[in-house]
């Protein structure tokens, strides 16, 4: 339920271990991140609701990387089904990889600009009220349930005012 008591969670994992695990499972690092998120969300659903009976939809931001861009990032998004209802972590990882492949195919068909256009369609002044209304509904949200993103850390240590940023 969307409320003022929302929570944000993050986790830091050693990249070599993540890459090795993804390789052993035959999936990408991004798919592994989504599978880990699905496992954590499954635990939350079981703890809070006592059940995880159906998949949930994750909104996953993705860069469009247009070559004619002057600055900044142009993003789009994928809607990926997370199999939180599946108890086996290996099977969840396999299903996440399949769902991601399908979401990427759908994204190509619909076009990478659609996500941004959808986000721009809702006027800023009305967005808070619209999201509160969606949060009060008893019916499941049909567009997405959760946002999941993996953020790559800096490749080089930065400095600010002569001090290393960690």
pLDDT of residue 124: 73
Which domain range does residue 28 map to?
A: 15-149
Nearby residues of 159 by Cβ (< 8 Å), 6 or more positions away:
165
pLDDT tens, residue by residue, 79-113: 899 999 999 999 999 999 999 999 999 888 877 77
Rounded (5°) CA angle 126-127-133: 95
pLDDT of residue 100: 95
pLDDT of residue 115: 65
Q: Is residue 163 part of a domain?
A: no
pLDDT tens, residue by residue, 119-163: 677 677 777 787 777 767 666 556 667 888 876 666 777 888 888
Q: Is residue 114 part of a domain?
A: yes
Q: Is residue 4 part of a domain?
A: no
Q: For the chain, what is the domain count?
A: 1
Q: Is residue 88 part of a domain?
A: yes
Q: Is residue 42 part of a domain?
A: yes
- Please tell me the pTM assigned to this model: 0.73
Q: Is residue 159 part of a domain?
A: no
Between CA 35 and CA 94 the distance in angstroms is 9
pLDDT tens, residue by residue, 21-63: 999 999 999 999 999 999 999 999 999 889 999 999 998 888 7
pLDDT of residue 68: 62
Beta carbons of 104 and 78 less than 8 angstroms apart = yes
């Amino acid at each position: 339920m969307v409320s003022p008591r929302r929570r944000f969670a993050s986790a830091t994992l050693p990249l070599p271990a993540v890459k090795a695990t993804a390789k052993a499972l035959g999936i990408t690092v991004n798919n592994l991140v989504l599978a880990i998120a699905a496992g954590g969300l499954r635990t939350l659903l079981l703890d809070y609701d006592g059940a995880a009976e159906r998949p949930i939809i994750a909104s996953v931001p993705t860069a469009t990387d247009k070559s004619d861009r002057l600055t900044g990032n142009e993003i789009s998004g994928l809607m990926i089904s997370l199999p939180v209802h599946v108890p086996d972590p290996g099977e969840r990882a396999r299903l996440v990889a399949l769902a991601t492949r399908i979401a990427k195919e759908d994204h190509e068909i619909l076009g990478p600009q659609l996500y941004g256009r959808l986000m721009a369609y809702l006027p800023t002044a009305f967005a808070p009220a619209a999201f509160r209304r969606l949060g009060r509904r008893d019916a499941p949200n049909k567009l997405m349930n959760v946002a999941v993103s993996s953020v790559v850390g800096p490749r080089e240590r930065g400095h600010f005012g002569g001090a290393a940023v960690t």
